[in-house]
Amino acid sequence: MKIVFHPEFLKVYTNDPAAAEGRLECILKEIKDDYEFVTPEPAKLEDILLVHTPFYVEEVKAEGLYDIAALAVGGAIKAAKIAFEEPAFALIRPPGHHASPDRGWGFCYFNNIAISVRKLMKERLIRKAVIIDFDLHFGDGTANTFCTDKNVVYHHMPQDDIASIEDILKSVEYDIIAVSAGFDKHRMDWGYYLNTEDYRTIGKIIKEYAEENCFGRRYAVLEGGYNQDVLGKNVKAFLKGFE
């Protein structure tokens, strides 16, 4: 298991909850001694344009957020490539699953998970993918990106229905499992649904199906999760199941 991380992600780039001071530090405190860390490069413009329109990219630039958003995309792409050798987790921000091709909201600018999947497909490393999203909020940006693509299945876990993840993973074909890992469904976060050990269970289910169906290829990228008292512990629990 490798963790993709860059010190730039520690910077407070806006005043929204995803960019809050200390949010990634509380995760690093829990996992820094357990895994190897690797550093990403910013995504190239041509990669970002695999999902987003040129006009929307210019809007993100105008907001002064292009550099940090491109670095987050680069982190997701690096995790996706690592997944062909071992599991990976992209400890990145801004999050991305609310970013559609021509717009973004919900603290998201570029859709990290969608671009990384498209990158693998463009390079013909995969033909089919499944995206599991266990964030509190539905990833409308990811769903919009792949709504007409029969080779990519997007599944958002409703409420505390962990069994739905297993149901989808045993019913579709895929060459890799990509995960939008949001931790705001925790009982002490915004969602009030999951316990910390539930994240370990989710990670374990994804690991088992990846090993059975796609040579173990799996990677996850950070989405939501805002209560710093529990966020690090929740991420650690997920990684222990996922590794």
DSSP of 70-120, one letter per residue? Answer: HHHHHHHHHHHHHTTTS-EEE--SS--TT-BTTB--TT-SS-HHHHHHHHH
Q: Are strands 152-156 and 2-4 parallel, antiparallel or unpaired?
A: unpaired
Catalytic annotation present for 98: yes
Q: Which pair of structure tokens corresponds to residue 199?
A: 């994240």
Structure tokens at 122: 């463009």
The overall longest dimension of the chain from CA atoms, in Å, is: 45
Beta bridge partners of 38: 4
DSSP characters over 176-211: -EEEEE--TTBTTTTS--B-HHHHHHHHHHHHHHHH
SS3 content of the chain, % helix, strand, coil (to 5): 40, 15, 45
User: Which candidate, 185, 186, 165, places its Cα nearest to that of 177?
Assistant: 165
For residue 238, give the nearest of 191, 210, 203 by alpha carbon.
203
Q: Which residue, chain included where needed, has tokens 């966020």?
A: 231
Residue located via tokens 């200390």: 22
- The catalytic residue among 98, 155, 156, 186 is 98
Annotated active-site positions, please? 98
